[in-house]
Amino acid sequence: MIKITLPDNSVKEFEPGVTGFDIARSISNRLAKDVLSISVNGQVWDLMRPINEDASIKLHTWDDREGKETFWHSSAHLMAEAIEFFYPGTKFGIGPTVDNGFYYDVDLADGKVLSDKDLPQIEKKMIELAREKNDIVRQEISKADALKTYTEKGDPYKQELISELEDGTITLYNQGNFTDLCRGPHLPNTGYIKAVKLTSIAGAYWRGDEKNKMLTRIYGITFPKQKMLEEYLVMLEEAKKRDHRKIGKEMELFTFSQRVGLGLPLWLPKGAMLRDQLEQFLKKVQKKFGYEQVITPHIGDVNLYKTSGHFQKYGADSFQPIHTPAEGEEYLLKPMNCPHHCEIYSSKPHSYKDLPVRMAEFGTVYRYEQSGELHGLTRVRGFTQDDAHIFCRPDQLKEEFLKVIDIIFIIFKALDFNDYTAQISLRDPKNTEKYIGSDENWEKAERAIIEACDEKGLNTVTELGEAAFYGPKLDFMIKDALGRSWQLGTIQVDYNLPERFELEYIGADDKRHRPVMIHRAPFGSMERFVAVLIEHTAGKFPLWLTPEQVVILPISEKYNDYAQKVSEYLNNSDIRAIIDERNEKIGRKIRDNELKRIPYLLIVGEKEMEENTVSVRRQGEGDKGTMQLDEFAEFVNKEVREQLSAFYS
């Protein structure tokens, strides 16, 4: 008998060859119906793959990321099978899962081209194949046999992928009349897939290299129930309305220019004001927690990033080095801020009494992204991080880590992000060559994060292999108003950069010691955070944050002078007010400005001018009555004070 350890540490005994499905059925028939895949000693397996030795396991359903990924990975194969049915001779690139579904890169034979009108028949065929409930069977073969198979098939993409694999066993998966190179895992059979929607078609260079052939990328999503698809499509329509690119244009927050360059946003006055409000908010919070602001240049000597190890790890994602007129000088556009902060720390000696040193910077960095991967503000080539680095003694590490969690909680509360999970991202113990530093330091760093999360009582998930190359981290995964997940806020523990930069402090024993470094960015990047915030709020920001808090609407041109007087009074009262002086009917002005998502609309005419008042409308609430100017100013400022005091207290 073999011993199977369940997530609650209970142990059950089974005969060798037991499968995940067998284990689920031994627990309950309901679980056996819902389970999609299984983790065996940290690796996700097919549900029907035999387990022949003692193991720790976790069963995955649709509610788990691993379950969805297994479901969508199998769906990518199902789509490929349907495509091959209609387009024999198609050559297949890769077909991974993404945050919401999957895609497959394909090269159609004889120069054929797919368009959106072809997707419905592929969807229909996928459902037809799914209903056959064909078993998805794992097959192990040698590398030589795999190369032979795809050479005979004439598929250069699979041949290239196989040639890069290590010698040994390679896996194929078979279903119906379709076979694909794949390491899995997959569903037991195609019958689990009940609802299909192919969402879009795009072009994609093979392996993301613009020198390679352009393939056709087909995106899709599937569900275990038709009702789930229907709900998803409703959400998708709402997401289109909330698209930050659409709302950003309507609200005049940012723009892009081909002349400036791809992936380089231009912040318009209202967007710059929004960003400034966010920055000032965080600076005030950081000041309370003992941070000092620093500023570092936009470029750095390439050797700085070689010392940190970033160049070796991310050189391919950096822009080409900048060569100066001086021989041998090479600079990079700054891809990250931490090496610069290490140099600031080392610019003067430190005693144990000086620590922790907390330095913060809204630092703009640059990283190269393929043009096809760029997307509004969420994927850009130049972005500003709300970066900070804490240099502390080992005995201060947990306390400082807990304080950073407190800062992130303040931000989430201020911006109404209430649904989140903390992801503990650890090193992959089976692939340690990806990381720098000693095992001892990694163990200490990982333990500090786990203990801090336990102390805060956070709802956590643990992901092996998701750590930064220099240390483990805690990522906060929030759900927006539409239930979509975003990674916002990260905290990383790093024993390694202080070692690489030879950072020191003099301890109480009068000896030299290494500080521990905490990297943290509650917003992550200002660009991506603003994009998420726009889509979460549909552009209806909290009053303290919105770029234009009040718009004044004169009933006719006769009252423009009074509107100007109201505007000056409000702006002198620290209220951001504008005037709509267009020669339009008041109903049209109200509708247009409500579309601009301005919280307060003030209507002024003869009565208001005579009585020094304003008629107040609140966005989404309608008429709020008439107020004296000073009364309205205090009303707005009180609302802002109450919002902010709740976060700063």
Q: How far apart are CA 593 and CA 601, in angstroms?
A: 8
CB burial of residue 458 (10 Å; 0-12, 13-18, 19+): middle
Predicted confidence at residue 433, as pLDDT, reads: 74
* Mean pLDDT score, 396-420: 91
Asked whether residue 350 falls in the same domain as residue 441, the answer is yes
- The catalytic residue among 197, 403, 473, 597 is 473
Confidence band for 289, pLDDT divided at 50, 70 and 90: very high
184-194 burial, b for 16+ CB within 10 Å, e for fewer?
bbbbbbbebbb
Q: Is 375 a catalytic residue?
A: no
Residue 570 has pLDDT above 90, yes or no: yes
> Across the strands, what pairs with 293?
360
Asked whether residue 502 falls in the same domain as residue 554, the answer is no
Asked whether residue 48 falls in the same domain as residue 100, the answer is no
CATH number of the domain where residue 628 is located: 3.40.50.800
513 is in an annotated binding site: no
DSSP 8-state secondary structure symbol assigned to residue 348: S
Q: What is the mean pLDDT of the chain?
A: 91
Q: For 62-100, what is each residue's pLDDT tens digit?
A: 999 899 999 999 999 999 999 999 999 999 999 999 888
- The catalytic residue among 387, 480, 494, 580 is 387
Is 525 or 648 the better-scoring residue by pLDDT?
Answer: 525
Does 106 reside within a domain?
yes
The count of other CB atoms within 10 Å of the CB of residue 576 is 18
* Mean pLDDT score, 282-311: 93
- The catalytic residue among 341, 389, 589, 597 is 389
**Which residue range is the domain that position 44 belongs to?**
2-61
Nearest CA-CA partner of 282 in 533, 545, 527: 545
Asked whether residue 412 falls in the same domain as residue 504, the answer is yes
What whole-number percentage of the chain has pLDDT above 70? 99
Predicted confidence at residue 649, as pLDDT, reads: 57
Asked whether residue 56 falls in the same domain as residue 22, the answer is yes
- The catalytic residue among 65, 313, 367, 484 is 367
Show Cβ contacts of residue 166 under 8 Å, excluding neighbours closer than 6 positions. Answer: 143
For the chain, the domain total comes to: 4
CB burial of residue 500 (10 Å; 0-12, 13-18, 19+): middle
Confidence band for 254, pLDDT divided at 50, 70 and 90: very high
Q: Is 389 a catalytic residue?
A: yes
Nearest CA-CA partner of 401 in 344, 465, 474, 470: 474
Q: How far apart are CA 313 and CA 315, in angstroms?
A: 6
Residue 349 has pLDDT above 60, yes or no: yes
Does 69 reside within a domain?
no
> Across the strands, what pairs with 171?
140
Residue 432 has pLDDT above 80, yes or no: no
Is 441 or 22 the better-scoring residue by pLDDT?
Answer: 22
Q: Is 342 a catalytic residue?
A: no
Asked whether residue 466 falls in the same domain as residue 497, the answer is yes
Strand ranges in 52-136 using DSSP code E only, listed in sequence order: 55-60, 91-92, 97-98, 101-107
Does 150 reside within a domain?
yes
Q: Is 367 a catalytic residue?
A: yes
Residue 412 has pLDDT above 80, yes or no: yes
60 is in an annotated binding site: no
Q: Is 513 a catalytic residue?
A: no
- The catalytic residue among 180, 275, 338, 423 is 338
CATH number of the domain where residue 36 is located: 3.10.20.30
- The catalytic residue among 73, 334, 519, 576 is 519
Asked whether residue 442 falls in the same domain as residue 474, the answer is yes
- The catalytic residue among 286, 385, 423, 492 is 385
Q: For 583-600, what is each residue's pLDDT tens digit?
A: 889 999 999 898 889 999
Predicted confidence at residue 161, as pLDDT, reads: 92
Q: Is 403 a catalytic residue?
A: no
* CB 489, CB 524: distance < 8 Å: yes
Does 243 reside within a domain?
no
Q: Is 22 a catalytic residue?
A: no
Does 297 reside within a domain?
yes
Residue 648 has pLDDT above 70, yes or no: no
Asked whether residue 574 falls in the same domain as residue 468, the answer is no
Q: For 132-151, what is each residue's pLDDT tens digit?
A: 999 999 999 999 999 999 99
519 is in an annotated binding site: yes
